[in-house]
Structure formats: C-alpha cells, structure tokens
C-alpha cells in the first residue's frame, strides 16, 4: 500500500491536471499530528473539480485487495466470504477517509 497509494495518486493527478510533485515513499514523522506519514504526493494544482477524484485514487486498489482476501478465504475460511468482504470494504473506506489529506488545502483555506 505504501507504494501503490502514491503511485495511483500521481497517475490520477496527471490525468486530472493536478500537476503532481515528487513522490515520497519513505516513512517520516509528522510533528503537527504526532503520527507517521508513509507516503505522499504533492499536488500542485488542487481545485474543486479535481481534488475529490485525486483523493479517491487509492480506492482503485480495493479490487486487488478483495481478490487477495478472496484467495485467502478459499483455503481456510474463518467466516463466510460475503461477511469478510463487507467488513474489509468498510474498514478500507474508514481508513481512506481518515487518512485522506486531499481536502486539507480546502479546509485550511489555502486554495
């Protein structure tokens, strides 16, 4: 996920004229939030018409994650595949909404 999220965000930003900057794949400590930043892409042109779709770029990895989960549950199911898929989808949606920093420029009023 550390490589896939910045990679897909940069591709999506290029398609939507977001003018992506350099990709940071290393882990860095965030002083303000007190957490860790696992990967980031700087967007040079965040606008109301492209920032939402650029922020949703990591969700393009959900089908790959679902296939991995499905492959795992075929061999040693702990609970049924439908329940696991729903829980996995909800967990990823919560993670994506909590870690998405695409709206920080709009919330801070910098753009």
pLDDT (tens digit per residue) in 32-75:
566 666 677 888 888 888 888 888 888 888 888 888 778 777 77
Instruction: Express as a percent the part of the chain with pLDDT over 70.
Output: 67
Diameter of the chain measured on Cα atoms: 50
**pTM beyond 0.85:** no
If one counts the domains in the chain, the total is 1
What is the distance between the alpha carbons of residues 78 and 97, in angstroms, rounded to a whole number? Answer: 27
pLDDT band at residue 1 using 50, 70 and 90 as cut-offs: very low
> How many residues are listed for the chain in this entry?
111
Could you list the residue range(s) of the whole structural domain that residue 17 is in?
Answer: 4-108
- C-alpha 9/C-alpha 49 separation (Å) is 15
**pLDDT per residue over 18-35, tens digit each?**
888 887 776 665 655 666
């Amino acid at each position: 996920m550390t490589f896939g999220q910045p990679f897909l965000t940069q591709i999506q930003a290029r398609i939507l004229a977001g003018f992506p900057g350099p990709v940071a794949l290393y882990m860095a400590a965030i002083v303000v939030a007190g957490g860790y930043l696992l990967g980031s892409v700087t967007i040079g042109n965040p606008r109301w018409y492209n920032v939402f779709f650029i922020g949703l770029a990591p969700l393009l990895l959900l089908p790959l994650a679902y296939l991995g989960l499905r492959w795992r549950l075929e061999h040693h199911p702990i609970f049924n595949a439908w329940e696991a898929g729903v829980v996995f989808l909800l967990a990823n949606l919560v993670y994506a909404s909590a870690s998405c920093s695409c709206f920080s420029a709009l919330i801070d009023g910098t753009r």
